[in-house]
Amino acid sequence: MSAQEAIPVYTNLKDLYASLGTSLDHAERWSTLAEEFEKRFGQKPQYITRAPGRVNLIGEHIDYALFGVLPAAIERDILIACAPTVSPADKGHPAPGNVTAENLQPKYTRQVFAPAPKAKASEIDEAVHVEGWHLDIPQQLRWENYVKAGYYGVLEKYFTGSKVLPVPVDLLVTGSVPAGSGLSSSAAMVVASTLAFLAINGKLEGSADKITKGELVKMSMENEKRVGVNSGGMDQAASVMSVPSSVLYITFYPSLTASPTPLPGGAVLVCAHSLKVSDKALTAKKGYNLRVVETLVGARVLARALGIAVGAREKITFREVVGRLMSEADVGPGGTGMDAAALMGVLHKMAEAVEQLKPPGSIDPEFGATLEEMTAMSGLPADEFHEVYLSWVEVDATHFKLYKRAKHVYSEALRVLQFRKLCLDTAEAGAAGSSLAALQELGRLMNESQTSCANDFECSCEELDQLTQLARDAGAYGSRLTGAGWGGCTVSLVPESDVEAFIKKVSETYPPYKGLEGEALSEVIFATRPSTGACVYKFE
């Protein structure tokens, strides 16, 4: 799987559905969307873009430390139908780049917006040179922010200093990824929207500067940062690069790679929503973004303690710290990553090294370091510390728990490699190996991950703790929160033959599921297969 591949563009429905590996329910969603688009905008869509949500099996909150993670795309996705706006003759032309965005969900109302050109530099040959674009993305939770976030990157990459103006667009969105659930509806929205604007402006096919999967991942990551979350690249990479039936081992260091990893047979993934909605855009200051700062500062303090040189303005990550500890000989073939066995060896040792992150003089690492203590530990003058670690992000905390965060990150990074090795070894052993023993061991790693998320990274919550425990009681090999946490979904590895009984048991024992039946229940707890990454359908 190469980051250089182009985004698949289908012109034939049969090929599209074959690639999705799914049934007619999908076909119906696509055709309903196209029909509805025509009703609302008076023309057929030119494209439908698709980006799936994802479930992360293991490797939580370590992507922004640049450690590898193991997510899979899920079957639930975001679809966006789009076409250049055709205005009735009497209405004149809409402003360049104007967007009319609608959503099949009635609670998300119709939005019209246009980017404002910054400084028209000159007018030569009647063409306007626009130096840049401004698009207002308010810091409130609004559905169209995700559409705007996708648009922004396309404007910046392709329409800065350009003579050509962006095409006005009509678009209609529909989605089956539950929002705020840890299944990355946000990344799916941003990827699908980025693809829609790329498609409409001719940047997907034919053109010399057409986008690759790797570029789309980077662009979507940057785009999502505009909605206020300093995310790592896991969700966008999973949404763009996944392949059916496998989980994807995604690395970020030294470069983005995605290697399909087969799960042992005999188990399925079940996603279950805790029904506690966690919205990162609203809680980032005390949660997600705070963890990003704690882990970055932790990496600098650890590097110092280990005698590793760090540039004054460099935001070294936990992954780079171990990278610099390892010799050249440990770098894997082609420089695509460290040799997994060597990396596992170093990660084992890090369990001890992180002790150095306990705040000086404090017996209780539970408490964390104050801002002053943390600044002193970093070795930077206060103003530089602020500039490097706090000026670009809003956090709200009095104590920073560097030790506990590092303990989670390094142990979780090791669990990811152990999980992957088990999957690869089981596949290699084929019929001779025992899937059951492997699945039990994978489940154990997932359970350990949950404990580490709860105790050391403190990104779980009562509901998630309870739901994962009930899932284990109902027969799961393992169960953990998935995504950022603090609410949202859990993922459980469940014996294939027991799925129905498992879902029934959990639905009877988890109090917030009381009274839910049929479709309402399958909205909150459902089995899913690893699905395929983002694609585009072009109407001809």
Q: Which residues bind Mg ion (CB under 5 A)?
A: 184, 186
Give the nearest distance from C-beta 144 to ligand NG1 in angstroms.
17
Q: Which residue lies nearer to ligand NG1 by CB, 188 or 199?
A: 188
Query: Rounded distance, CA 289 to CA 459, Å?
Result: 12
Strands ordered across the beta sheet of 70-84: 9-10, 535-538, 47-58, 70-84, 169-175, 99-103, 111-113
Contacts 24+ apart (CB under 8 A), 109-112: 111/142, 111/143, 111/144, 111/147
Residue with tokens 């693809």: 195
Q: Which residue lies nearer to Mg ion by CB, 186 or 447?
A: 186
Q: Which residue lies nearer to Mg ion by CB, 54 or 480?
A: 54
295 near ligand NG1 (CB under 6 A) = no
223 near ligand NG1 (CB under 6 A) = no
Q: Which of 276, 244, 275 is nearest to 261 (CA)?
A: 244
Q: Do residues 99 and 114 lie in contact, with contact meaning Cβ atoms separated by under 8 Å?
A: yes
229 near ligand NG1 (CB under 6 A) = yes
528 near ligand NG1 (CB under 6 A) = no
**Single residue of 72, 173, 187, 301 touching ligand NG1 by CB under 6 A:** 187
246 near ligand NG1 (CB under 6 A) = no
Torsion of CA 288, 292, 295, 301, to 10 degrees: -140
From ligand NG1, Mg ion, none, interface partner of 226 (C-beta below 5 to 8 A by class): none
102 near ligand NG1 (CB under 6 A) = no
184 near ligand NG1 (CB under 6 A) = yes
61 near ligand NG1 (CB under 6 A) = yes
Eight-state DSSP code of residue 338:
B
- One-letter amino acid identity for 287? G
Binding mask 478-497 for ligand NG1 (x = CB under 6 A): -----xx-------------
Q: Which residue lies nearer to ligand NG1 by CB, 83 or 217?
A: 217
**Single residue of 117, 153, 166, 182 touching ligand NG1 by CB under 6 A:** 182
Q: Which residue lies nearer to ligand NG1 by CB, 184 or 378?
A: 184
| Catalytic, out of 63, 77, 170, 235 | 235
Burial class of 362 by CB neighbour count within 10 A (0 to 12, 13 to 18, 19+): middle
Q: Which of 283, 274, 280 is nearest to 463 (CA)?
A: 274
235 is catalytic: yes
Give the nearest distance from C-beta 78 to ligand NG1 in angstroms.
13
Token output for 52: 């799936």
Query: Rounded distance, CA 148 to CA 222, Å?
Result: 12
234 near ligand NG1 (CB under 6 A) = yes
Stretch near ligand NG1 under the rule CB under 6 A, chosen from 18-26, 229-237, 301-309, 375-383: 229-237
Q: Do residues 44 and 172 lie in contact, with contact meaning Cβ atoms separated by under 8 Å?
A: no
Answer left, alpha or beta for residue 496, where phi above 0 means left and psi between -120 and 50 means alpha. Answer: alpha
Burial class of 431 by CB neighbour count within 10 A (0 to 12, 13 to 18, 19+): exposed
Stretch near ligand NG1 under the rule CB under 6 A, chosen from 17-25, 94-102, 180-188, 524-532: 180-188
Give the nearest distance from C-beta 278 to Mg ion in angstroms.
10
Q: Which residue lies nearer to ligand NG1 by CB, 63 or 320?
A: 63
In 125-236, where do the E strands start and end? 127-134, 169-175
Judging by DSSP bridges, how do beta strands 70-84 and 47-58 pair with one another? antiparallel
Stretch near ligand NG1 under the rule CB under 6 A, chosen from 32-40, 57-65, 203-211, 509-517: 57-65
Q: Which residue lies nearer to ligand NG1 by CB, 26 or 480?
A: 480
From Mg ion, ligand NG1, none, interface partner of 64 (C-beta below 5 to 8 A by class): ligand NG1
Burial class of 108 by CB neighbour count within 10 A (0 to 12, 13 to 18, 19+): middle
Report the interface residues with ligand NG1, using CB under 6 A: 56, 60-61, 63-64, 182, 184, 186-187, 224, 229, 231-232, 234-235, 280, 483-484
| Residues labelled as active-site residues | 235
